[in-house]
A and B are shown apart, each in its own frame.
Chain A
């Protein structure tokens, strides 16, 4: 185990003690124990990227990285026999995004545009997201704390909810990689940021989060004259769109690498244009 993974586990253990308090006791099985965590309190609030990156460094459970680290730490402490079956998973097709897209064409259309908050919420569901998966041999079982909040509101069984597609990784290695991405976030020099991200990727290769974050420094290095970095950015954006289509990556592909990159997965051109406008405006 690398030093970074050991450090991640120490940070997660500390965050777990702080989040659950001394009175916490496990239920009879892992699922009931995970459900007993007060997720509603931990799944509130909206935060800037700066705040979120700072919270990720200490695995604060108000971020989804902190929540998945908390779940892994709980299973490891109270149900260690399950650890060989535990995975940290990145969501590549988001359940909530699917719900929102159903509204486009039914409730909303080019003649009846959705409110800005609706558009921003759809974009949020396209952001990288991590959950816990336990391999059930027959079928994997996902645990996403957001489902607990949603199930209570929707009055439906939480077990009925699942993200349509996820990519699974070794748990602590994935959490370590994700934490290091937030460390790289604070680096201002693109070359150094890229070096940190490649280091993070070496611990748990192939995560969407690393790919997303590598695009920025690659594009900036390309603008300084390194054309090969631009080509690498394009390959990453195409890979991201294949794995998990999202407006941010499509926007970059279409703007920088030509109009041949068409909308996919539920977007008609009008909705895509609307989402792209909000995406750009959020930073310009």
Chain B
């Protein structure tokens, strides 16, 4: 078996195709779990807030031209 190069999706597909149907299902579940866990990590990041509230340039610049009235 040739060594897999990093970022070689075609080679990864070949390896997955060579697996038995049971192993492919295990791999699919593993990949789904990894994805869900990374999304949970992302959700944790978007919900971790620290009162970073200010006043932004769109409100300030548009109020000068009264477009937000």
Which residues of A line the B interface, CB within 8 A?
A: 43-47, 49, 52-53, 56, 63-65, 96, 99-100, 102-103, 107, 117-118, 121, 124-125, 127-130, 146, 149-150, 153-154, 178, 181-182, 185, 190, 209, 212-213, 215-217, 219-220, 222-223, 248-249, 251-252, 255-256, 279-280, 282-284
Contact = CB atoms under 8 A, between A and B. Distances in A.
Interface residues of B, number: 29
B47 A248 contact: yes
Interface string B46-63: 111111111111111011
A61 to B, nearest CB: 12
Contacts of A53: 50
B68 to A, nearest CB: 5
Interface in B27-65: 36-37, 39-60, 62-64
A107 B67 contact: yes
17 contacts: A96-B56, A100-B68, A124-B54, A125-B53, A128-B51, A128-B53, A129-B53, A146-B53, A185-B50, A215-B47, A216-B48, A219-B43, A222-B40, A223-B40, A251-B46, A256-B40, A283-B45
A46 B54 CA distance: 8
Contacts of B50: 49, 52-53, 56, 63, 65, 181-182, 185
A190 B48 CA distance: 12
B64 to A, nearest CB: 6
A153 B49 contact: no
A279 B47 contact: no
Contacts of A252: 43, 46-47
Contacts, number: 131
Contacts of B59: 96, 99-100, 121, 150
Contacts of A129: 51, 53
- Complex A-B, nearest 3 residue pairs according to Cβ-Cβ distance, in ascending order: A216-B44, A121-B56, A52-B50
Contacts of A223: 36-37, 40
B48 A212 contact: yes
A124 B50 CA distance: 11
A2 to B, nearest CB: 21
B52 A216 contact: no
Contacts of A107: 67
Contacts of A128: 49, 51, 53
Given A103-B68, A153-B64, A284-B42, A65 B48 contact: no
Given A46-B52, A283-B46, 13 more contacts: A43-B55, A63-B52, A124-B52, A125-B56, A127-B49, A128-B49, A153-B60, A182-B50, A209-B51, A212-B48, A215-B44, A220-B40, A220-B41
B46 A117 contact: no
Interface in B2-48: 36-37, 39-48
Contacts of B40: 219-220, 222-223, 256
A256 B35 CA distance: 12
A98 B58 CA distance: 13
B6 to A, nearest CB: 20
A248 B44 CA distance: 10
B8 to A, nearest CB: 22
A103 B68 CA distance: 7
B58 to A, nearest CB: 5
